[in-house]
Chains A and B, each alone.
Chain A
Amino acid sequence: MSAQRIQQVVIVGGGTAGWMTAAALARFLPPALCRIVLVESEQIGTVGVGEATIPHIRHFNQLLGIDENEFIRATYATYKLGIQFTGWGAPDSSYIHPFGLFGHDIRGIDFHHYWLHLRSLGDETPLDNFSIAAVAATAGKFAYPEKNPDSLRSDFGYAFHLDASLYAKFLRNYSAERGVRRIEGKINQVKLCSLTGFIESLTLENGEKIDGQLFIDCSGFRGLLIEGALKTGYEDWRQWLPCDRAVAMPSERTTDPVPYTRSIAQRVGWQWRIPLQHRTGNGQVYSSEYLNDEDALYLLRSQLNGEETGEPNFLRFVTGRRKKSWNKNCVAIGLASGFLEPLESTSIYLIQVAILKLLENFPDADFAEIDRAEFNRHIDLEYRRVRDFLILHYKANGRVGDPFWDACRAMSIPAELERKINLFRESAQVEHYQQGLFMTPSWLAVYIGQGIVPQGYDSRVMRHPKDTMADYLKKISEAIEADVHGMADHKTAIDNAIKGISGIYPEASMNLYGLPK
């Protein structure tokens, strides 16, 4: 090898992003070649919210060799089969975006075309009834997905609700065991090379100097290195995603935890409910243009079920992303690289993708431009695709009469998203792509769930007589219902996992809907 290997990586920040990065690098970089240092400041603290995840986190844990049940114990986790959206379409409507498929394609034609046809003939069975993940979620049940592709239980994945600060702590121990050096202290100076503009070293308040070749900025919203020192620039996406504030507050758990996240649309913005083993996480996301902090807190408090168990935590953010996540010798991961609101629980996923792409394109000390280009190309695509999917929720709202929502319906949207929506409206086709997170079932869930009714659908399904088709679909939904009936209660499933008597948990994949077929 002609080029020099990087000998020291410095991670700035000990939030979820910092510790996930440290753990993964410690797991995969040969310790003899590369040291890893992480700097964090207790005085500054972490964002401290972020409790809902998507199934990819299981893949991350499995890559690291983490035992799932140990993880569930350590982070007070519960299972998650999807997200329930209430009041996003018509104010009284509700749908589930499940981590799983809706039905099966029949003779090469996507299931939803049959469903749409039947619906046009007057059948009112909701689409959710054909997703085992959605049905299990609403029934408060849980079971592991199965590998056998013929099983009804093969078409879904699952994620967790977790206490993110406990997850960070868990990964901190993991990292320490694998040689990551943790430095407590506040960075107050970043020294750049006068020739190249690369970061040379960091200096702490106490004067300690930290050298390195690669610097990973996990310092949260402030982007201490990527923006503070390197002035990389930020793309503001608030014209499409208008919320810029949130207030979070935990409360006592009053009922058994449900296996899904809830997202409840409000007069302005929306609220989340995230059930953990020991508490419920709550929050209100809003736009400061339409709602002040006090009213937001009131809106949140007035809808809490259990006793408050903590102080309100107010957060401000600018939705958008760093123009380059990787600039010079600095890679931004987590909030330092951008922010998309937690509507689809994507932040931890985006952290994970950045880590994997960094490992794939891990540089040598000469920092070839092409590694940066390849990394940024991917991260950019991921962010944009998630962004567009989030915008869809706002654009396709059905809350006529609320000024906030009226403005969302009227806003202009990115051309690519417009194209996708037009296609679905016209022919019930979901635009097909291979890279990125959300695929057909997700788009379908939101389109249908929020009331975008296509004018047409695959004409090949029209020839099927109503009765045969209705029978066939009924059989599927009944089979799903019967199968879900046989699943354990979510609470029991969690208890079994905690006790370690839940059987062997399945293999994970980088897929939202279970193992790819």
Chain B
Amino acid sequence: MGWMAAAILARGLKAEGVELTLIDIPDMPADDLAESSLPAIRQLHQMLGFDERQLMSITGASFKLGTEYRWGPATSFVHPMGKPATIVPALEQEVSRLHLIGDDCAYENYFLSAVAARQGKFAFPDPDEKSIRSTLSCGLHLDVKNYKEYLKDYARFLKVAVRKGALQAINICSSSGFIKALVLDDNSRVEADLYVDCSGESALLIGSAELAVPYASWQVDLPLDRMVNFSVLRPSCKTNTICPLTKVRAAPWGWQREIPLQRKVVHQFIYHSGLLDDEGLAKEVHRMAGASDVRYTEIKPGCREVLWSRNCVAVGAAAGNITSLAVSELHWAQSALVRLLDYFPNKSCEPFNAAEYNRLTMQEFERLRDFHIAHQVTMHSDSAFARLCSEAPIPAPLQHRIDLFLHRGRIAAYEYEVMSDQLWAAFFLGAGLWPKRYDIMTEALPERELLQNHQRIRAAISKAANAMPNHHELLASYCPTR
């Protein structure tokens, strides 16, 4: 995460003559093997001036049009990115009405991204609003190791200084309580005006005795404490479909996730160690022929009570952790870093400014946490993990959101929400939360006519999906792995 922070801050502050130093601390916990990102990453790359094609080549990347969820014996849905490929205003209302009269078309079929992704197709979002492809939106699947190297080169190019060494002491200014300097294990000092803590779960600054910002645990809300990563190479003859989808499966002990890269697939188990011991895990991993690069990490869901304290801003897992199941650490860290640029302080770290940063970041984080909890609520019903989950009450905003949706298919809007209403609806409907009723306004059209309209819409989407290129072919010509 440090390199990401260095890259964003270096770019954002390039013209301001702010000097950046990155302290490269040895023996940090291992990174994930792969990243499954939201569309925001592409805007960020654009802001950083990255050549996407080159970046994707180097990181063996593939595109992501959505997430495929599986649970139970035969249930699956795609939660797409982008928006419905129709301009029907109250789409979820009409579809709910059709569902109630027995039409069993899945909601994802209204999203070009979902329909195309299932077939292993991909196309770039079209900026022309009139094109059906303008409803597409995509993120990236990246190899983290290479991505980090790429960020490192970029940060160095922008003259970020690098110091290697472990942290030995933190010098605090006795009057202000600000960090005055960091002392490394070779007794050298690093002095700065602002310190960004990207040290992950160890939270070396924000969690230190000197700053002593407490960590509020969300372990009850998100009962997950471990993660394992490993990768499986794609047999070279079998690259003929790569679905532009992250795959998530509900398991009795938590979640299993697959991130497709060009040459390999990265698997991740996110679980509760009380439900899956090392032996059980070894068995699971073993079932996946050719698993290599196996690595474990501890995760502690929760959040610092203050994310920016005095002259120290914690970013990424140092600030909090909601597991990377649906929205990754990289995403929430990027979002926080871009916000930090907006609220970039002067030397005094003005308190109201920092408070506003904290308020916004915290609210966004809580909304993201609720989205993760929504996964548990909708896709885990009858497992040991589900029983663990049910020990915590559902946060009130999420409960209200679920209740209102089940009641009448409306999404209750909350401040600082990250996901659009349309995508919340797609999530709920995909997960099988069909509303019990629909708007009276939806009854304006007779059933038969409504159904015909919808059949036309679906046919158009399906036709548009067929016309899209194959994802693996596009990757092979656009950005083949280097």
Contacts and interface: CB of A to CB of B under 8 A. Distances in A.
A397 B344 CA distance: 30
A6 B404 CA distance: 19
Nearest to B414: A435
Contacts of B408: 361, 368, 371
Interface string B340-354: 011111100011110
A458 B344 contact: yes
Interface SS majority for chain A: loop
Contacts of B17: 463
A33 B353 contact: no
Nearest to B403: A370
Given A435-B415, A459-B346, A419 B352 contact: yes
B360 A5 contact: no
Q: Which of A2, A362, A378, A459 has the most CB of B within 10 A?
A: A459
Q: Which of A359, A360, A370, A419 has the most CB of B within 10 A?
A: A370
B17 to A, nearest CB: 7
A29 B441 contact: yes
A374 B16 CA distance: 46
B352 A426 contact: yes
A468 B458 CA distance: 55
Interface string B9-20: 000110111000
A472 interface: no
B444 interface: yes
B436 A370 contact: no
Nearest to A361: B410
Given A361-B410, A374-B410, A463-B16, A456 B350 contact: yes
A1 B408 CA distance: 11
A371 B438 CA distance: 12
A402 B163 CA distance: 62
A423 B443 CA distance: 48
Interface in B405-455: 407-408, 410, 412-413, 415-417, 436-441, 443-444
B445 to A, nearest CB: 9
A108 interface: yes
A28 interface: yes
B440 A29 contact: yes
Nearest to A109: B342
A373 interface: yes
Interface SS majority for chain B: helix
Interface residues of A, number: 41
A429 B346 contact: no
A207 to B, nearest CB: 32
Interface in B318-349: 341-346
A3 interface: yes
Interface in B2-42: 12-13, 15-17
Interface string A226-237: 000000000000
Contacts of B350: 426-427, 456
B102 to A, nearest CB: 13
Nearest to B357: A429
Given A360-B410, A374-B404, A434-B416, A33 B352 contact: no
A431 interface: yes
B191 interface: no
A70 interface: no
B164 interface: no
Contact of B356 (A377, A429, A459): A429
A374 B342 CA distance: 33
A517 interface: no
Q: Which of B100, B351, B437 has the most CB of A within 10 A?
A: B437
B45 interface: no
Contacts of B444: 30
A1 B15 contact: no
A432 B17 CA distance: 28
A460 B13 contact: yes
B441 A427 contact: no
A422 interface: yes
B400 interface: yes
Given A423-B353, A463-B17, A373 B437 contact: no
Interface string A2-38: 1101100000000000000000000011100110000
Contact of B346 (A30, A370, A419, A456): A456
A33 B404 contact: no
B404 A460 contact: no
Contacts of A429: 343, 352-353, 356
A463 B440 contact: no
A459 B403 CA distance: 46
Contacts of A370: 400, 403-404, 407
5 contacts: A1-B437, A5-B440, A30-B440, A370-B407, A434-B416
Interface of B: 12-13, 15-17, 100, 341-346, 350-353, 355-356, 360, 400, 403-404, 407-408, 410, 412-413, 415-417, 436-441, 443-444
Q: Which 6 A-B pairs have the closest CB atoms?
A: A427-B353, A426-B352, A423-B352, A30-B444, A459-B346, A422-B352
